[in-house]
C-alpha cells in the first residue's frame, strides 16, 4: 500500500464566536492513500467542509486547528501561515473543486485571464504557454478550446463546473478536493461531471477527496471513504468495507435512509432528531441522541476507534461496534436478496 498523501490525526477544529466556540471537528482521523479517491460523507453541518477547508488553509478567519496533526505528504501543515499555504500547498499540490461552481469563477475575468493569473503566481509559464495548457484541459473536460476566453456568465452551470475541473488540474496537483462538486446540477449533468472526475483517476496520477452528502456518489466513485456525523468521524474504510460491513449505527442507517431507484418499494430508514450543537467539550458520541442502540457508555467519553474484523483500515468510532452486526441485523440484511427492477447493470 502506498504512503498516505494526506493524514488527519486526531484533529480538532474550532470556530471562535462571541459566545462559546463552535467545535466543528473533533478528534478526526483518517488517511488518504496516494492515488486513492476518498469520499467523505455526512449531513450538512457535520464538519466535512471544515475538514476540506483546513487542508488548504481555507478556514474562515475565526476558524483554527486547535489540536492534532494534518500531514500532507508527511509534512505538518495545520499551523501553516497564509503565505506558507500559498508557497507549499495551494494549487500546486492541492487544488479545489468548490461547492458552488456558479459563484466560484470571477464574473469579471475571462477564464483565460484567470488561468494566466494562476500560472503567473505559481509557475514560470509564459502567457501563450498557459493558454495552450488551458486549451488542453478544456479538451479534457469536454469544453471546446475556442471558448477559453469567454466570460463565466457565458457558460451554463455544467460548463462552469467543467471549467472549474480544468482549473483544478491546471497545475497538476497531487490532491484534488472536490467539495459537493455536483449538488447544484441536475442528474444528467451530475452524471457527466462525475464521469470526468472519475476519468482523471486513470489519466492523471491524482488523489481525490470527494466531499458530499450523497453516499451513492461515494460508493460509485471512491476507493475508500469516511462517514461523518456531528463533527466526529463515525466510520472509515474502503467503500466495500463500509457498504458490506458497516459497524457504526449512523453509517448503517444512512445507507438505508438513502433512496435507491432500484427498489422503489423499500421502506426508507429514518434517523430521528438532529445533530447536537457542538459548543462544549465533545466527550461523547454525537450520534448517541439519535441512535436506536445508544447506551450510557455512548455518553461517557468520545467513542474510541474500533477496528472492524481486525482490519485497521476499517474503523468504526462506536463503543458497540462489536455487537452491531447483531443489533442492527434487520437493517443489515438488505436489498441484496430482493432484485433490482432496473434492466441491465448488476
Partner 1 sequence: MSRLRYFARRTAVTAVLIFLVASALFLFFRLMPGDYTSLLIQQGMDPQQIEALRRKWGLAAPLHVQYVRYIVNLLTADVGQSFRYGEPVWDLVAPRILNSFVLVAPAITATYIIGGLFGAIMGRRRGGYLEKSGIITVSAFHSIPDFFLGIILIAVFSSTLGIFPTSGMLSTPTSIMIQDQPYWRRFLLPEFWKHYALPFATVMLYFMQYPALIMRNSVVEVSDQEFLHYHRLKGLPESTLLRKIIRHASLPVVTLYPISLAASISGLVLIEIVFNWPGIGSLLVSSVLARDFPVIQFVFLVAAVWVILGNFLVDLLYGVLDPRVSVSGSDGE
Partner 2 sequence: MSDGAPVLELRSLEKHFDTTSGITETIRNRLVGEGPKLVRAVDDLNLTLAENQVQGVIGESGCGKTTLLRTIIGLYDPTGGEMRFHGRPTSEFTKDEWKEFRRHVQIVFQDPFNSLDPKFSVRRTLAEPLEIHGIDYDRTDIEEMLESVGLTPASQYIQQFPNQLSGGEKQRVAIARALITEPDVILADEPASMLDVSTQAEILNLLNELTDEFGVSMVYISHDLSTVSYICDHINVMYLGRIVEKAPTRALLADPKHPYTQALIRSIPIPDPHYDREQATIGGEPGDPIDMPEGCRFKNRCPERMDVCDETPLDVAPDGDGDREVACHLYYDHEERAGAEPKPAASDGGERP
Q: How many CA atoms lie within 13 A of 18 on its CB side?
A: 0
The span of 94-102, 170-178, 261-269, 304-312 binding partner 2 (CB under 8 A) equals 261-269
Cα distance between residue 172 and residue 122, in whole Å: 12
Our finding on whether 89 is near partner 2 (CB under 8 A) is no
The span of 23-31, 101-109, 209-217, 310-318 binding partner 1 (CB under 8 A) equals 101-109
Site string for partner 2, 304-343 (x = CB under 8 A): ------------------------------------xxxx
CA–chain centroid gap for 248, Å, is 19
Between residue 272 and residue 291, which ones bind partner 2 under the rule CB under 8 A? 272, 274, 290
In the bound complex, what is the minimum distance in angstroms from residue 171's beta carbon to partner 2? 28
In the bound complex, what is the minimum distance in angstroms from residue 112's beta carbon to partner 1? 13
Q: What is the DSSP string of 259-288?
A: --TT-TTSPPP---S-PPP--S---S-TTG
Sign of the dihedral defined by the CA atoms of residues 9, 30, 53, 234, in that order: negative
Task: Work out which of 253, 294, 321, 332 binds partner 2, going by CB under 8 A.
Answer: 253
Nearer to partner 1, 206 or 332 (CB): 206
Site string for partner 2, 3-42 (x = CB under 8 A): ----------------------------------------
Cα distance between residue 8 and residue 55, in whole Å: 9
Site string for partner 1, 43-72 (x = CB under 8 A): -------------x-x--------------
Cα distance between residue 68 and residue 229, in whole Å: 19
Sign of the dihedral defined by the CA atoms of residues 179, 257, 242, 191, in that order: negative
- Which distant-in-sequence residues (6+ apart) come within 8 Å of 296 by Cβ? none
Q: Buried b / exposed e across 92-113, counting CB within 10 Å, b at 16+?
A: bbbbbbbbebbebbeeeeebbb
Q: How many CB atoms lie within 10 A of CB 284?
A: 20
The span of 103-111, 139-147, 232-240, 248-256 binding partner 1 (CB under 8 A) equals 103-111
Cα distance between residue 16 and residue 2, in whole Å: 37
In the bound complex, what is the minimum distance in angstroms from residue 87's beta carbon to partner 2? 38
**Binder of residue 153, out of partner 2, partner 1, none (CB less than 5 to 8 A by kind):** partner 1
Residues forming contacts to partner 2 in the complex (CB under 8 A) are 43-44, 156, 158-159, 186-192, 194-195, 213-217, 219-220, 239-240, 243, 253-255, 257-262, 264, 267-272, 274, 290, 340-346
Give the binding site for partner 1 (CB under 8 A). Answer: 56, 58, 82-83, 85-86, 89-92, 95-96, 98-100, 103-108, 117-118, 121-122, 151, 153-154, 167
Amino acid at each position: 500500500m502506498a504512503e498516505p498523501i494526506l493524514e488527519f490525526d486526531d484533529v480538532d477544529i474550532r470556530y471562535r464566536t462571541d459566545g462559546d466556540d463552535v467545535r466543528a471537528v473533533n478528534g478526526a482521523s483518517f488517511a488518504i492513500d496516494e492515488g486513492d479517491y476518498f469520499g467523505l460523507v455526512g449531513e450538512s453541518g457535520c464538519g466535512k467542509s471544515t475538514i476540506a477547508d483546513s487542508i488548504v488553509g481555507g478556514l474562515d478567519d475565526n476558524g483554527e486547528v486547535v489540536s492534532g496533526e494534518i500531514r500532507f505528504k508527511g509534512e505538518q501543515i495545520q499551523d501553516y501561515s497564509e503565505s506558507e499555504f500559498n508557497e507549499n500547498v495551494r494549487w500546486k499540490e492541492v487544488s479545489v473543486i468548490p461547492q458552488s461552481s456558479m459563484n466560484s469563477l470571477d464574473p469579471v475575468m475571462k477564464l483565460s485571464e484567470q488561468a494566466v493569473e494562476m500560472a503567473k503566481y505559481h509557475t514560470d509559464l509564459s502567457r501563450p504557454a498557459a493558454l495552450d495548457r488551458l486549451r488542453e484541459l478544456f479538451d479534457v473536460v469536454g469544453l471546446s478550446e475556442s471558448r477559453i476566453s469567454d466570460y463565466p456568465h457565458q457558460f451554463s452551470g455544467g460548463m462552469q463546473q467543467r471549467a472549474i475541473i480544468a482549473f483544478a488540474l491546471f497545475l497538476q496537483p497531487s490532491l484534488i478536493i472536490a467539495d459537493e462538486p455536483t449538488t447544484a446540477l441536475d442528474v444528467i449533468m451530475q452524471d457527466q461531471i462525475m464521469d470526468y472526475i472519475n476519468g482523471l483517476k486513470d489519466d492523471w496520477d491524482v488523489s481525490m477527496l470527494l466531499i458530499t452528502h450523497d453516499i451513492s456518489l461515494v460508493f460509485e466513485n471512491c476507493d475508500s471513504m469516511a462517514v461523518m456525523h456531528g463533527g466526529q468521524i463515525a466510520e472509515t474504510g474502503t467503500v466495500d468495507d463500509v457498504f458490506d460491513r458497516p459497524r457504526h449505527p449512523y453509517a448503517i442507517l444512512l445507507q438505508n435512509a438513502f433512496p435507491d431507484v432500484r427498489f422503489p418499494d423499500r421502506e426508507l430508514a429514518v434517523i430521528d432528531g438532529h445533530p447536537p450543537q457542538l459548543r462544549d467539550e465533545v466527550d461523547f458520541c454525537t450520534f448517541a441522541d439519535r441512535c436506536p442502540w445508544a447506551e450510557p457508555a455512548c455518553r461517557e467519553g468520545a467513542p474510541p476507534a474500533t477496528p472492524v474484523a481486525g482490519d485497521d483500515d476499517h474503523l468504526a468510532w462506536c463503543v458497540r461496534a462489536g455487537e452491531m452486526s447483531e443489533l442492527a441485523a434487520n437493517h443489515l440484511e438488505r436489498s441484496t436478496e430482493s432484485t433490482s427492477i432496473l434492466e441491465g447493470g448488476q
